[in-house]
Amino acid sequence: MENNTEMLKGVLEGCVLEIISRGETYGYEITQKLRELGFTDVVEGTIYTITMRLEKNNFVNTNKKASTKGPPRKFYTLNAAGQQHLKNFWGKWEFVSSKINQLKEED
Amino acid sequence: MENNTEMLKGVLEGCVLEIISRGETYGYEITQKLRELGFTDVVEGTIYTITMRLEKNNFVNTNKKASTKGPPRKFYTLNAAGQQHLKNFWGKWEFVSSKINQLKEED
DNA sequence: ACTGCTATATAGTATAACTAAGTAGTGTCG
DNA sequence: CGACACTACTTAGTTATACTATATAGCAGT
């Protein structure tokens, strides 16, 4: 599907948080998972800006580990603030998406 | 609910199109309807930039009419291109929201 | 050496919504 | 009458977030 980019604004960060909440992971892997999910146009650069932002806002802890397949990986895990932020995100999503579906289904 | 603003990016225009598709309406009224829907923070300025964009991109026809309650109203109706655009919007919404819900529900 | 996959990072751009303010018509109330 | 509230449209400037494009670098296979 073409050009969902604008529609992802404000939700992509939440998706990244959700993926991290499933267990320690790193930028490149997050990108792969999002692409598998169906967001085929998501590129690494986008995810790195998000993970850097999460780091800056203190929602994640980081841990650098060597890889056998390439350069060292920077692993992320959610901290308490990140978990709260994720919970807020899903709350907002629930609210917004239900309102939009309500608008869609009205006649 | 506070600060859904970023989450509305890319969907607010679609919501406006949907509201116009229900029948001839104007900016101020669209704003009211969105606020009733629950997007209480949406303000007129935002809606006017959207309706101007829709006009510029030739998705709507306009028709100015006098009002008994204030300045003349600028009524909008969807044209064929607008209807197609709306259809595309709902397609994208269906895709994106289903993927996000899928991510949410996984465990 | 070259190519491809893995992996992180960043400078610059585009989009879309927000803030804030201005203009203007109509009705109401002290 | 004058102030205010509600209706109604418009626009200049800001902010947030994702994208484009590029750079850097390790490792494996040819």
Residue by residue, pLDDT tens for chain A (107 residues) are 456 778 898 899 999 999 999 999 999 999 999 999 999 989 999 999 999 999 999 999 999 998 888 899 999 999 999 999 999 999 999 999 999 999 999 76
Structural domains in chain B (count): 1
Task: Report the CATH number at residue A39.
Answer: 1.10.10.10
Name the 3-class secondary structure at A42.
coil
Q: What are B28-37's pLDDT values in tens digits?
A: 999 999 999 9
Interface test with B, best of A5, A41, A97 (most B CBs within 10 A): A97
**Which has the closest alpha carbon to A50: A9, A107, A90?**
A9
Q: Is residue B33 part of a domain?
A: yes
DSSP string across A46-87: HHHHHHHHHHHTT-EEEEEE--SSSSPEEEEEE-HHHHHHHH
> Who among residues 32-71 of A has its Cβ near strand D, under 7 Å?
41-46, 49-50, 53, 68-71
Question: What is the pLDDT at residue B1?
Answer: 39
Q: Is residue B23 part of a domain?
A: yes
Q: Which domain holds residue A67?
A: 5-105
Name the minimum distance, in Å, from the CA of B90 to any CA of chain A: 8
